[in-house]
Amino acid sequence: MESFEGKIAVVTGGGTGMGRELVCQLISEGAHVATCDVIEENLLETMELAEKKGTGRLTTHMCDVSDENQQIRFRAKVAAQHETDHIDLLFNNAGIGAGGSIVAEDRTEWERTFNVC
């Protein structure tokens, strides 16, 4: 892709770290971005930083990507708010790390990790 100008991108896990940086760089290149995270204050900080970087449209969404119903709502909001039936770029960036032993610990934590990542 030679230019991100006017492209519609989705970034999961856009509240911090690499996701936040992806959002900021895409906005600075003229893309329109929808991002989600599970922590609203992190999304608000990403929005503040991104708005200083460029003029692309940014929408933020609360969404736990391990929950299918929340994913469906996120998809619907992106389509409506960006007035589109497609996206050009998808960055499945959301992720968490689990502690403990996959052998000795309860599998609930591992299933959550696999569902997010």
pLDDT tens column, 38-57: 999 999 999 999 999 988 89
Q: How far apart are CA 101 and CA 117, in angstroms?
A: 17
In this structure, the number of other CB atoms found within 10 A of the CB of residue 36 comes to: 26
Q: How far apart are CA 82 and CA 59, in angstroms?
A: 8
Q: Could you read off the pLDDT of 9-27 as tens digits, one per residue?
A: 999 999 999 999 999 999 9
State the pLDDT confidence band at 76, using cuts at 50, 70 and 90. very high
Return the CATH fold of 8-116: Rossmann fold (3.40.50)
Are 12 and 89 in contact, with CB atoms under 8 Å apart?
no
Quickly list H helices, the chain.
Answer: 17-28, 40-51, 68-81, 107-116
Q: What is the pLDDT at residue 17?
A: 97
Q: Check: pTM over 0.85? Answer yes or no.
A: yes
